[in-house]
Structure 1
Amino acid sequence: MHFWKVTMASALQNRVNRAPKVASALLCFFFFFFFLFSSRSSRVSAQSSSAVFACDVDKNPNLASFGFCDKSLGVNQRVSDLVKRLTLQEKITFLVNAAGSVSRLGIPKYEWWSEALHGVSYVGPGTHFSNVVPGATSFPQVILTAATFNASLFETIGKVVSTEARAMYNVGLAGLTFWSPNINIFRDPRWGRGQETPGEDPLLSSKYAAGYVKGLQQTDGGNPNGLKVAACCKHYTAYDLDNWKGVDRYHFNAVVTKQDMDDTFQPPFKSCVIDGNVASVMCSYNQVNGKPTCADPDLLQGVVRGEWKLNGYIVSDCDSVEVLFNDQHYTKTPEEAAAVSIMAGLDLNCGSFLGKHTEAAVKGGLVTETAIDNAISNNFATLIRLGFFDGDPSKQLYGKLGPKDVCTPEHQELAREAARQGIVLLKNTAGSLPLSPTAIKSLAVIGPNANVTKTMIGNYEGTPCKYTTPLQGLAASVSTTYSPGCANVACGTAQVDDAKKAAASADATVLVVGADQSIEAESRDRITLSLPGQQSLLITEVAKASKGPVILVIMSGGGFDISFAKSDDKVTSILWVGYPGEAGGAAIADVIFGSYNPSGRLPMTWYPEAYVDKVPMTNMNMRPDPATGYPGRTYRFYTGETVYAFGDGLSYSKVNHHLIQAPKLVSIPLEEKHVCRTSKCKSLDLVDKQSCENLAFDIHLRVKNEGKVSGSHTVFLFSSPPSVHNSPQKHLLGFEKVFLGAQSESLVKFKVDVCKDLSVVDELGSRKVALGRHVLHVGDLKHTLSVRI
């Protein structure tokens, strides 16, 4: 069973859908042999008991004479020693994810492809579960974790995931290189993979990237260059279309302006590399302005390794090199495809393409052996930092981790806490929520997602420790009557009568609706923003029949046009719960029954259905175009009506903000001969960065909880810059999550870096400080700040 689940399910889910006929045939074949393989593979999995590692000097003392096995040497020395011992054919085996072995040097096979998007995953052949470790903690899907706006939580989750990953590595069930997180901007609400991302805002995505990566890699063991596990930020870059109206990611050319590239798409990756010091970046399937990202030397060698100084390796998305040859026809021969990718800066190919064609490319003079050496050197350096070449891992820093460290009560409680912090209360008629577990004697729980398990954890999932469904969570507090209302989220025919009877006889009704991976997923973008099938009918009819409060719970990655429910007085409350992870049902109940005061905020805009008629997914432009009626994208540029806005979210308390300290004027000193002293400038070029370097100011706010319920509160600092260079109408400068007791207050401080925070990207992609009137926003507060020279 595990053999099929790991190898075939992951391959079909992620890559083979590029060739649907082949995928169907393979799926049928493996189902035919499913039972034959399942029992055998389970036994094999159960026998896994030790980690894969090189330089086992205990078994082969001769290995101690090799420099690459000498822990006292520096990483570069060890890498150099190893590379010079390899033949060309051996070197090429280290260019692919299923890396080869060199027995004469004590190097075993290594599988690079493991995933840990929101917990250790069985997607990818590098990791699987067995009776030794039957499951791992499954945190909320990333979009809900992002809704917590809690930067420390991002890192804490990463640390737990890396602990469980190392524990599984130590018993031979996982690798050390995890291709997570996904930090693409959630540009379009229809994107099936938006659920995997931290949302639509570049700053939030940047903070998430750096935080989660730091947690995963956790370089705090005395070796600042060491890695607990190696993270990977993906998919670089401007990748946010999978399969929409016949346009797929393998053939899509993202036409992106320099301004949008540096203003929107690149910041999370830059932060991931510079602030997070990530060990890997994955290039994407799509082309950007006519070039495949995995064959673009400007993007790879120029930016990632050159400007940002990546300390690690660059890997392709799976089969991307094959895609640029076979699907995009970017080169005439496979050898040319291999050569241009390696010369562009690609170090590792997820897939087998480089393994098949690189030797011929070298012999044909298309790529040098030195370029091969450079690529595998980056790969080996990463493995050395992970301790792979340090011998027996049980004698290393994380060697004592094992099955006892997976699915611990503390880890599972963190999964529940993360879901609670992320849940967003979008509507709450006075007196509706929270429900009283003593006053409410009976509860109707209705909807296609009311009793789901796997739906709660989204994609790139692993086997969770356990599940608590919404029905189970709610039933733990009060007597419940359950009616699915729809057989599934597609909801071809709603079973309205049974649902209405349940609602009519209960003191309160909870409707759990939304989406699942059949609606939004990798290789599956949405066409509409309406709830699937007859869910809207089910909600409206149940609300009419209900005798008590009606709480609508939306389980999804992307937003929906639920204007009908927002304006329906019978729908008294609305919650968005993302895909809330293994403890999702318990977290939902915690919020509904008031043991937790909701504090989540939307990390993406919810648009009306009319949006899809005005905005093709293929249009990458972020900024509006009044001439064509194009409304722009995300809260930073979108000029149309919204159903709910970025940052929306209510709590059970009223919180007031009071500005304590903020300047009204910031002056940037310039040299006497500076051009802006003699001519009127709208902005200041950051090429002259010393002008505002170290120029910063503080903003102090008093935040008070006026209510009777304690809870956390997110403080947002936004800025509306002057109207220069087609700047954003509003953008996020910072956010802080604070806990406030009932009737208590807290002082929140923001430090604003003038060069970084009050700058905008101009039409040519250069960052400049906008001179003139900036308006700072915190809640309902507005403060005008003038920036001048």
Structure 2
Amino acid sequence: MASFFLFLLIVRLVHESKETAAGDIFPFRNVSLDWSVRVDDLVSRLTAHEIIDQMAYGGGWDAGVTPPIPRLSILPYSWGTECLRGDVSENSTGFPQAINLATTWNKQLVKAVANATAYEVHAHYNLFTKEGLYGVHRGLSCFSPVVNIMRHPLWGRGQETYGECPYLTGMFAIYFVHGLQGPSTARYLNTNAGCKHFDSHNGPENIPVSRFSFDAQLSEYDWRSTFLPAFHACVNAGSYGIMCSYNSINGIPSCANNRLLTDILRQGMNFTGYVVADDDALVSIHTDHHYVQTNEDAAIVALQAGVNLELSDSPEATMFELLHQAYDEGKINNQTLIQRVKPLMYTRMRLGEFDPLEMNDYNKIPMNIIQCESHRNLARQTALQSFVLLKNHGNFLPIRNPSVFRNVLFLGPMSNNPVQQYGDYSPIVDPYYVTTPLSSLQDSFANTSYNEACLDGARCLKYNQTDIIHYLKSNRFDLIILSLGTGPDIESEGNDRATMNLPNNQLQLLQDLLNTIDPMQTKILFLTISGTPVDIQLAEQSNQIQAIIHLGFAAQELGEALKMAIIGDGASKFGRLPYTWPKKLSDLPGDLTRYDMTSGFTYRYSNVEPLYSFGYGLSYSNFSYFDLRFNATTIKPGDGLTIYFNVKNTGERTSDEVVQIYLSISLKNTSLANVSRAQLVDFERLSDITPQQTVPYQAIIRPEQMAVYVDGKGFMILPATLRFQIGSFLQPYLSGNVTIDGTEYSVGQYISYASL
């Protein structure tokens, strides 16, 4: 019945819109006026209570939409859309998970995925609008990308991030925002980005404490040097939205934090867009953080701190609705409401809502773009470039002649487990387009068998050890393709892992396999499917396992991309790790609640030898780097720097190579500031380099990348020795020093590291 009345209301609004169009149009619909004039006119026509309703209903439940304003012929609007790597919760192309986008180390590819996502989101929007349907996942305003730092492998949402490096994350944030929103010179946005979760929302979800009440204790140095820069990059990229997070920072909830949302975000970073509170984050200010005494107080403090829009799970949990009474009682003023609603209306205006439909070409995007051939190819290429080759003993891969392996066993709970290979926050993918290791590889071999071993999938609680050992002893296999991992059943939003171990009996399966087979007869290819590192020391150290490929959550094209990578000539287009892969959990300096980065989290501060370092990954070829030069070996504070060198494919295979440049700063006065052990300052994927081909490379290092945070002063460039390590910061191909000499130079209070 409710949907019927909504239909009647929309018909009425369309009728009124036509009547208005026949006479004088409102200035806010006059396309010849400046955007600011139009926004001012629209907002001036709203009552305080209409403004509150526009701010209170950002979505969160199925019918959660901003209400229409019939007298202005304004329709409902759906804010709650997720665009992490496809149109989440809608029938769409399933692109690889965000952490897989990061393992590609390919900026243009990340932008292309964001752009394809935007087109599919807009196609759905066009259909929903035509049918008069509103609700969650039916709008154009994306709550994406996630630019939090993955500083701990147990965090359930690490898979949604771009890894552990502020620079790498910031660069991908820029390209993803640009991909979602479209050209900055265009009149209309395709969709609008909304970077999240601001700020210092880097776990825990539920272990050892709840994210809804967690208070992140962090130093000013760590806050500005690790957790804020990627958001600054988002702002500089032009993101229209920022989502404030559930947690507190040093005792103040993020969505009630005036310093965070006003002093840092709006004044320090010059953000002019809207801040949306995460789902039920406002009620948590009162009920979980106990920061205020009442729900009304929570609504007021969030409004005053800088929140523009609220998400909640139900109308009853919508705190901003309490602002109606607060306004009537004089606790908030009309000017604050006007300031908060303007960015919301400006965003909707730039999405084309108040202009004639025919003016916006994005309104012509058809539904047949969903799972179109170009998008499926993009998903496949992204998956291919996201795989990380961790081990390839004796150049076992690629399998040039599959007929050598007459009997092949696909073993393990991730061999044919489509839902778990998607990862969290996935689109609804048509099963017709989904490929797995089993479905794509089995036709490459003469005789294949399949045994998932774990009857309950990735959880692997239902494992019959006796049966598996008997099965392995009773059958002879030339090759076993073992697929183990996690999936959203094990790691996801609201679901941290307690250990780094392979889930439950998966480790036992691996041990049973190694203890049972004859290594002289059977080769093993080990595939890991997870969003974050698992403990696979046994596999890395075992001579019985010839190769290991980390597939991440490569989604619908995982199987076909894997076939391209390992069968026949094999495509040498592997990725690199965007995080440190520890040997074991005890190598970390603390659990998910510890935010002291300098204690040894991430490659920037850890001195512990990892299983695989940040940036690690093999290929089917070899490369040499030579002729390192700088445009100057001594520079003044504030000067930029250009680095030159050559990259040569010295192997026998055409291959991609990922160039990485790291900077270590040695201050002449070491008492002035903390510095990281090393910091990525440039990277680029070089594609399809042929054998013996030499590629000249040039990198421009900007002044802010040489800056360090000094208490009381902000980011400064100080006299120092800059050591550049090229290829890897642990075992570089090349290294060289540049000296900074002269008077200290101020960069600013907040920096992004990343920039175009």
TM-score norm. by structure 1 comes to 0.85
* Equivalent position of 2:590 in the other structure: 615
Shift of 1:80: 1.4
User: Would the aligned equivalents of 1:244 and 1:617 in 2 still touch at CA under 8 Å?
Assistant: no
Cα deviation, 1:181-220, whole Å, max 9, x if unaligned, reads 1110001111000000000000010011110010000035
Query: Take 1:648 and 1:55, find their aligned partners in 2: how far apart are those partners?
Result: 61
Mark the CA change 1:395 to 1:614 in structure 2 (over 3 Å): closer, same or farther. closer
- After TM superposition, give the deviation of residue 660 of structure 1 in Å: 3.6
Q: 1:750 to 1:564 in 2, by over 3 A?
A: same
For 2:624 and 2:229, locate their aligned partners in 1 and report how far apart those are by CA, in whole Å: 32
2:740 aligns with 787
Tell me the SS of whatever aligns to 2:46.
Answer: coil
Partner residue of 1:448 out of 413, 416, 420: 413
The farther-off stretch of 462-471 and 287-296 is 462-471
1:622 corresponds to which letter in structure 2? M
What is residue 746 of structure 2 aligned with on the other side?
none
Q: What is aligned with 1:707?
A: 651
Q: Structure 2 CA distance, aligned partners of 1:296 and 1:447?
A: 47
1:176 aligns with 2:140: yes
1:338 touches 1:361 (CA, 8 Å); kept in 2?
Answer: no
Instruction: Give the secondary-structure state (helix, strand or coil) at the position aligned to 1:315.
Output: strand
Count the aligned residue pairs.
700
Letter of the structure 2 residue corresponding to residue 93 of structure 1: D
Residues 55 and 69, structure 1, Cα contact 8 Å, conserved in 2: no
Equivalent position to 2:344, from 370, 379, 382? 379
1:492 equivalent to 2:448? Answer no
Deviation track 1:359-394 (CA, whole Å, cap 9, x = no partner) reads 1222233221111111111100100010011133x5
By how many angstroms is 1:786 displaced? 2.0
Name the counterpart of 2:616. 648
Specify whether residues 44 and 53 from structure 1 end up closer, same or farther in structure 2 by C-alpha distance, changes over 3 A only. closer
The residue matched to 1:512 in structure 2 has which SS? strand
Shift of residue 294 of structure 1?
Answer: 0.9
- Which whole-Å deviations, capped at 9, do the CAs of 1:470-522 have from their partners, x for residues lacking one? 11111242242111121222222434544774695233221110101121111
User: Aligned AA for 2:590?
Assistant: V
Which residue does the alignment assign to 2:750? none
Which residue of structure 2 aligns with residue 475 of structure 1? 442
> Which of 383, 399, 424 is matched with 1:419 structurally?
383
Alignment correspondent of 1:254: 216
The one-letter code sitting in structure 1 at the alignment partner of 2:620 is: Y
Secondary structure in 2 aligned to 1:331? coil
Once residues 117 and 454 of structure 2 are traced to their aligned partners in structure 1, the CA distance between those partners, rounded to angstroms, is 35
Partner of 1:104: 71
* SS of the residue 1:176 aligns to: coil
**Alpha carbons of structure 1 residues 564 and 277: separation in structure 2 relative to 1, 3 Å:** same
Spell out the pairing of 1:190-589 with structure 2 (5 A cutoff). Answer: 190-219=154-183, 222-223=186-187, 226-274=188-236, 276-351=237-312, 352=315, 353-392=318-357, 394-436=358-400, 437-465=402-430, 466-479=433-446, 480-487=448-455, 488-496=457-465, 497-498=467-468, 501=471, 505-544=476-515, 545=517, 547-589=521-563
User: Deviations for 1:20-57, whole angstroms, at most 9, x for unmatched residues?
Assistant: xxxxxxxxxxxxxxxxx9xx99x999x9xx99998984
Q: What 5-or-longer segments of structure 2 have no aligned partner?
A: 59-64, 728-732, 743-756
Question: Which consecutive aligned stretches of 4+ in structure 1 deviate over 6 angstroms post-superposition?
Answer: 50-56
Alpha-carbon contact 1:424-1:576 (below 8 Å) kept: yes
1:595 and 1:56 map into 2 onto residues whose CA distance is 61
1:727/1:63 Cα in 2 relative to 1: closer, same or farther (>3 Å)? farther
What amino acid is aligned across from residue 291 of structure 1 in structure 2?
A: I
User: CA distance change for structure 1 residues 765 and 239 in 2, over 3 Å: closer, same or farther?
Assistant: farther
Q: C-alpha distance in 2, partners of 1:283/1:751?
A: 33
Report the AA paired with residue 110 of structure 1. Answer: Y
In the alignment, structure 1 residue 155 sits paired with structure 2 residue 111 = yes
Q: Does 1:72 align with 2:32?
A: yes
Q: Distance in 2 between matches of 1:567 and 1:729?
A: 28
Instruction: Return the alpha-carbon distance in structure 2 between the equivalents of residues 55 and 268 of structure 1.
Output: 46
Cα deviation, residue 246, structure 1: 4.1
> Which residue identity is paired with 1:356?
E
Deviations 1:593-650 (A, max 9, x none): 24311421011111133427851211110002xxxxxxx1000001223111111100
Equivalent residue in structure 1 for 2:641, among 692, 697, 705? 697
Is 1:317–1:350's contact at 8 Å kept on the other side of the alignment? yes
- The structure-2 alpha-carbon separation of the partners of 1:52 and 1:404, relative to structure 1 and needing over 3 Å to count, comes to farther
Contact 2:82 2:143 in 1 (8 A): yes
Q: Give the deviation of 1:578 after TM superposition.
A: 0.7
Q: Kindly report which structure 2 residues correspond to 1:576-725, keeping only aligned pairs within 5 A, or say none.
A: 576-593=550-567, 594-611=569-586, 614-624=589-599, 632-662=600-630, 665-668=633-636, 692=638, 695-722=639-666, 724=670, 725=673
Amino acid at match of 1:424: V
> How far does the alpha carbon of each residue in 1:403-458 deviate from its partner, in whole angstroms, 9 at most, with x for none?
12221101001001001101000111013111123433432111110001111211
Alignment-mate amino acid for residue 488 of structure 2: Q
Describe the SS at the equivalent of 1:444. strand
User: Quick check: 1:54–1:106 contact (8 Å CA) kept in 2?
Assistant: yes
Asked if structure 1 preserves the Cα contact closer than 8 Å seen for 2:632 and 2:641, the reply is no
Q: Indicate the SS of the match to 2:364.
A: coil
1:543/1:105 CA distance change after superposition, 3 Å: same
Which stretch has the larger CA shift, 507-516 or 239-248? Answer: 239-248
Q: Could you list the runs of 5+ residues in structure 1 that have no partner in the other structure?
A: 1-36, 123-127, 129-134, 625-631, 669-690
Letter in 2 for 1:363: D
Partner residue of 2:691 out of 729, 742, 763: 742
d(CA) in 2 for partners of 1:144, 1:111: 29
SS of 2:610 mapped into structure 1: coil
| Structure-2 separation of matches of 1:552 and 1:194 | 22
- The AA in structure 2 aligned to 1:278 is S
Q: 2:23 and 2:644 mapped to 1: Cα distance?
A: 60
Name the counterpart of 1:140: 96
Distance 1:54 1:388, change over 3 A: farther
Closer, same or farther: CA 54–313 of 1 in aligned 2, 3 Å: farther
What is the CA–CA distance in structure 2 between the aligned matches of 1:270 and 1:380, rounded to whole Å? 23
Change (3 A) 1:382 1:450: same
Which of the residues 84, 98, 101 maps onto 2:44? 84
Query: Residue 751 of structure 2 aligns with which residue?
Result: none
User: Aligned residues: percent identity?
Assistant: 29
1:732 aligns with 2:693: no
SS at match of 2:337: helix
Residues 55 and 241 of structure 1: CA distance in aligned 2, closer, same or farther (over 3 Å) = farther
Paired amino acid for 1:229: T
Q: Which amino acid aligns with 2:213?
A: H
CA contact (8 A) 1:432 1:549 kept: no
Asked if the contact 1:705/1:745 (under 8 Å) is kept, the reply is: yes
Contact conserved, 1:483 with 1:499, CA < 8 A, in 2?
no
- Give 1:34's aligned residue: none
Instruction: Please state how far the C-alpha of 1:699 moved relative to its aligned partner.
Output: 1.1
Paired residue for 1:17? none
